Chains A and B, each alone.
Chain A
Amino acid sequence: MTLLLQVLVDGFVIGALYGLGAAGFTIIFGVSGVLNLAHGGVMVVAAMVAWMVAGGILHASLLTGVVCGVAAGMVTAYATYYLVVRPAQRSRRIPDEEREIFILTATLLLGIVIQEGIAYLFTSNPVTVPPLVSGVVHVFGVRTPTNELLIGVISWVVLGLLWLFVNRTRQGKAVLAASINPHGLAMLGFELPQIHRLVWGLYGLLGGVAGVLLATFEGASSGLVGGLTASAFIIVVLGGLGSVPGSLVAAYVIGFMETVTAYLISPAIRTLPGMVLLLLILYVRPQGLLGRR
């Protein structure tokens, strides 16, 4: 019984964290049509800056560290858009039918640049951001670090805010509409550049928060960049490209599958069932669980 509860608690937090990262990733795809293969970079940059400010070098307060970290995530997202994605989208030298592949490859290269940059500045050794709260809490007889539960709660609060934004505010609704039909939106008179500015900033925010939270729980290092991108990619495709609810569901599916595998079989192959599931879904239902396109 305790084992089941442990799996539930652990899986809940992991799923929430995955979901936060994946949500941003899928929104970007929906609105900009871009699969950002430098996604892990946004998260790890945020984590490293948070550590640098709060933990390692500047010894400022934790709150300052977190804020700086999230800001750094947004900066990275904007840099990705304005320095790489937009030039690639507008370049007349790239033939239209290959544009998608070029953007994909360009973001992949950017991811490498970010990863190597972090390794150069911080070495490849992992660091952790100090936990938001210390101590443990007993949940149904399972001892869990309070920080871990807090992460899960914060993730859901942020996701809730995201939902409110998308469904209740004018700009948010514009973003939602843009993710369904960007051209239609332009015809209706909305300024697309403004939408893009908003969306990429939102993406940076989500990724930054996810990155900082992850660092308090598991730590971060330059080596994580690739893995985080791969996980987000897998989750988002599983859930359906462009669908935020889909990626949340998928995040939990993958999160729980990994946790159960780690507990019951062996942590060594925790990622395997998820990858196999992805392959199956791709062959059977490529648009993912809740996808539209």
Chain B
Amino acid sequence: MQWLRSPRLWVAALALVAMVLLPLWVSEYVLGVLTIAYYFGVFAMSWDLLFGYAGEVNFGPTFLIGIGAYVSGMLNIYTSVPMVLCIAAGAVAAVIAGVLLALPALRLRGAYFGLVTLVSVLILQTVIVLFASYTGGEIGFSVPSILSIDSGVNYYYALAFMVVSGMVLLAVARSPMGLILQATGQDPLGAQALGFNVTKHKLAAFCLSALFSGLAGALTIFYLGSVSVNTVVDLAVTVQIIIAAVLGGRRTIVGGALGAIFLIVAAEYLRPIGELSNLVVAAFALIVLLFIPDGFLGLFPRREARS
């Protein structure tokens, strides 16, 4: 059981215990901040599966998140479907949308794939604004159901979701499929030559990413009690997700969660400088990207040798 001796595992366990016990010490407001951070963590971890492993830069994670959010939100408003089913429906819708987008898009390389994902977000935004009478347009709408008013309960929902998602995504990343993904990401021709179906694996990764993104998107709006283009579709959100994943360390999955927590907590610290906080965060991320491209977690390399 050599893995039991891994310091990383013990650190992770300690961190988990700390996070679970946190509500005993900190104020409700801090819990609220962390709740958002945890959902963001899932956005970032899902993104890392695609970027760090499959090597596809997705400029439109908010396409999947937005579909998950809007479908579940609209179901909640216009029908009497129970909230849990709305959330599930949102996740399913995100996966379907992901497949429809990915199938043709994965035939394209690098920058072109990125462009398609970018355009998909722009189109989604235009469509939402166009059908404003149903979707609330730019204004968005409030949803009648929410997960809970209690900050503590919301915190635990988010924490549990993040931990479970993280474990699933990590398991996939470490599995044989994950290794194949890495191979196809770094050397698609080589991987193909070895007989792996590159497209099939990338598609699977995309679906998984879509599932968690959509689920997280739906949960986020039932936490906030409202959905709008600003919150779940806007390009600004995409940029934050990318920053979070990069800061934490790409190709680590867990890095995404770390980066998201760091980002959102840092934004709180930067509150006093108001407007400049976005600039500072982006500038900081840029510096990290250039000089510490492996991110925070990259400073602690795994013991396994890289082939």
A: residues with CB less than 8 A from B are: 35, 84, 87-88, 91, 93-95, 97-98, 100-102, 104-106, 108-110, 112-113, 116-117, 119-120, 226, 230, 233-234, 237, 268-269, 271-272, 275-276, 278-279, 282-283, 286
A271 neighbours in B (Cβ, 8 Å): 122, 126
- CB closest chain-A residue, reference B246: A105
Q: Which of B104, B108, B290 contacts A106 (CB 8 A)?
A: B290
Given A84-B290, A226-B235, A271-B126, verify A116-B110 contact (CB < 8 Å): no
Q: Give the interface SS of chain A, mostly helix, strand, loop or mixed.
A: helix
Q: Which of A109, A110, A120 contacts B275 (CB 8 A)?
A: A120
Given A91-B290, A104-B114, verify A272-B123 contact (CB < 8 Å): yes
**Does residue B300 face the partner (Cβ distance < 8 Å to A)?**
no
Contact indicator A237/B289 (Cβ below 8 Å): no
Q: Which of A95, A108, A120 contacts B279 (CB 8 A)?
A: A120
Contact indicator B108/A97 (Cβ below 8 Å): no
Shortest CB–CB separation between residue B115 and chain A, in angstroms? 6
26 contacts between A and B (CB under 8 A): A84-B290, A93-B294, A94-B293, A97-B55, A97-B187, A100-B111, A101-B51, A101-B55, A101-B57, A104-B111, A104-B114, A105-B57, A106-B289, A109-B243, A109-B282, A109-B283, A112-B239, A112-B279, A113-B279, A113-B282, A116-B282, A226-B235, A230-B122, A271-B126, A278-B115, A286-B108
Given contacts A101-B57, A113-B286, A234-B115, 14 further A-B contacts (CB under 8 A): A88-B290, A93-B291, A95-B186, A98-B186, A105-B289, A109-B286, A112-B282, A113-B282, A116-B279, A120-B275, A271-B126, A272-B126, A276-B123, A286-B112
Contact with A along B255-276 (1 / 0, CB 8 A): 0000000000000000000011
**Does residue B242 face the partner (Cβ distance < 8 Å to A)?**
yes
Tell me, in angstroms, the Cα distance from A35 to B110 when the chains sit together.
Answer: 11
- CB closest chain-A residue, reference B282: A112
- CB closest chain-B residue, reference A94: B293
Shortest CB–CB separation between residue A228 and chain B, in angstroms? 13
Shortest CB–CB separation between residue A39 and chain B, in angstroms? 13
Shortest CB–CB separation between residue A286 and chain B, in angstroms? 6
Tell me, in angstroms, the Cα distance from A57 to B196 when the chains sit together.
Answer: 62
Shortest CB–CB separation between residue A99 and chain B, in angstroms? 10
Q: Which of B276-296 contact A (CB under 8 A)?
A: 276, 278-279, 282-283, 285-286, 289-294
Contact indicator B119/A275 (Cβ below 8 Å): yes
- CB closest chain-B residue, reference A276: B123
A108 neighbours in B (Cβ, 8 Å): 239, 242
Tell me, in angstroms, the Cα distance from A91 to B294 when the chains sit together.
Answer: 12
Q: Which of B283, B290, B293 contacts A113 (CB 8 A)?
A: B283
